[in-house]
């Protein structure tokens, strides 16, 4: 089966392409490399022993997407390609709305033209917004977010829901990710953002590698057991496998379905720092600083629906996540 993977050179996309290839699928990567590196595509080839099909193309460009669809009979699409930095989205809302909405609309139009009716969409736990109680359940109202980035996910979920109403034979699975961390066991693929990382684990990796002086923990006075924020961290390989399960589900179903991908457990920033130190035998310099604007004190997934509908649950431990993240970070280029 030919699976178009937009954003397939990125952090989650590249791990998903590896799992697809290992399972016998034929992924076709479309990525404009605006926030990814071609070396990830090379490394997918090294890990799997086979170079994946790759097109350097931008999903907002209908011509480029049409070209890809005309070269391969695409059976289903996994749509990762998007701008994803929460803080940047606050400063550049138009760019975020334009890019994330346009790419999805263009993709849907081209899919429709070529009769492709199966889509797995990269959504986020951010769609639960600041007011829902945790653990987050899929049936909770997902009608708000805390940043333009998050709002693009809310809006795209709405667009896909409306599209499925108009096209009852279409299937869209909306995967709401919690906090993916960790890296491929080979140490060849991982989260390697350009510039100073915003997210916790790549920041920890750079501190451990001596590229950044110390970690600042954003806030130590939250109403949580140790005062630091709690999140549902899951291994990126577990997340990648969740996409294969969602693909199988989409093959057999019609309509729209939102599904959480998380472990169902919350752990704090301090607990993650301690787990990283223990797993890797490293001391991480850190200070407790002020809170970061927009951070919620705590949230994690109710992971029951993924188990029930996809027969998926996270299998990797926090220690696995920390060990693999460090294996990647100590060899990362930046």
State the catalytic residues. Answer: 149
For 15-46, give the DSSP string.
HHHHHHHHTT-EEEEEE--SSS-HHHHHHHHH
Site mask, ligand UFG, residues 228-247, x = CB under 6 A?
Answer: -x-x----------------
Assigned token pair, 324:
């693999």
d(CA 127, CA 157): 9
In the complex with ligand UFG, the residue whose CB is nearer, 70 or 131, is 131
Burial (0-12, 13-18, 19+ Cβ within 10 Å), 166: exposed
Tell me if 80 sits within 8 A of 15, measured CB to CB.
no
**Alpha-carbon gap, residue 13 to 54, rounded angstroms:** 12
Nearer to ligand UFG, 2 or 199 (CB): 199
Task: Name residues contacting ligand UFG, limited to 29-68 (CB under 6 A).
Answer: none
If one asks whether residue 86 binds ligand UFG (CB under 6 A), the answer comes out as yes
Q: In the numeric block, which tokens belong to residue 211?
A: 């590229």
Nearer to ligand UFG, 174 or 269 (CB): 269
Q: Which stretch binds ligand UFG (CB under 6 A): 15-23, 110-118, 187-195, 197-205?
A: 197-205
Check if the beta carbon of residue 154 is closer than 8 Å to that of residue 127: yes
Instruction: Assess 80 for contact with ligand UFG (CB under 6 A).
Output: no
Q: Is 199 in the site for ligand UFG (CB under 6 A)?
A: yes
d(C-alpha 121, C-alpha 142), whole Å: 15
Check residue 150 for interaction with ligand UFG (CB under 6 A). yes
**Which of 58, 124, 152, 263 lies at the binding interface for ligand UFG (CB under 6 A)?**
124
- Among the candidate windows 60-68, 123-131, 135-143, 157-165, which touches ligand UFG by CB under 6 A? 123-131
**Interaction site with ligand UFG (CB under 6 A):** 84, 86, 124-126, 150, 179, 198-200, 203, 215-218, 229, 231, 269, 292, 295
């Amino acid at each position: 089966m030919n699976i178009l993977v937009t954003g397939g050179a990125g952090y989650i996309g590249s791990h998903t392409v590896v799992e697809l290839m290992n399972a016998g699928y034929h992924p076709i990567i479309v990525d404009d490399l605006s926030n990814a590196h071609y070396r990830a595509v090379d490394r997918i080839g090294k890990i799997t022993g086979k170079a994946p099909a790759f097109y350097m193309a931008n999903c907002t460009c209908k011509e480029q997407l049409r070209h890809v669809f005309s070269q391969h009979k695409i059976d289903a699409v996994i749509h990762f390609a998007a701008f994803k930095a929460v803080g940047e989205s606050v400063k550049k809302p138009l760019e975020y709305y334009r890019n994330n909405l346009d790419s999805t609309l263009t993709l849907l139009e081209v899919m429709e033209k070529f009769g492709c009716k199966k889509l797995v969409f990269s959504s986020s736990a951010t769609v639960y917004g600041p007011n829902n109680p945790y653990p987050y359940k899929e049936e909770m109202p997902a009608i708000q977010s805390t940043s333009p980035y998050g709002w693009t996910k809310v809006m795209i979920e709405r667009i896909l829901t409306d599209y499925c109403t108009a096209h009852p034979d279409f299937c869209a699975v909306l995967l709401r990710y919690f906090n993916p961390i960790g890296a491929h066991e080979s140490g060849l693929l991982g989260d390697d953002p350009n510039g100073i990382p915003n997210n916790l684990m790549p920041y920890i990796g750079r501190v451990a590698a001596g590229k950044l002086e110390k970690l600042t923990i954003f806030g130590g006075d939250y109403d949580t057991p140790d005062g630091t924020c709690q999140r549902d961290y899951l291994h990126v390989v577990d997340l990648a496998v969740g996409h294969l399960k969602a693909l199988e589900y989409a093959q057999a179903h019609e309509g729209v379905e939102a599904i959480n991908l998380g472990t169902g457990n919350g752990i704090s920033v301090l607990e993650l720092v301690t787990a990283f130190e223990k797993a890797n035998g490293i001391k991480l310099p850190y200070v407790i600083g002020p809170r970061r604007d927009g951070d919620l004190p705590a949230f994690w997934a109710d992971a029951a629906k993924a188990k029930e509908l996809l027969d998926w649950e996270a299998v990797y431990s926090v220690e696995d996540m920390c060990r693999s993240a460090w294996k990647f970070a100590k060899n990362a280029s930046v």
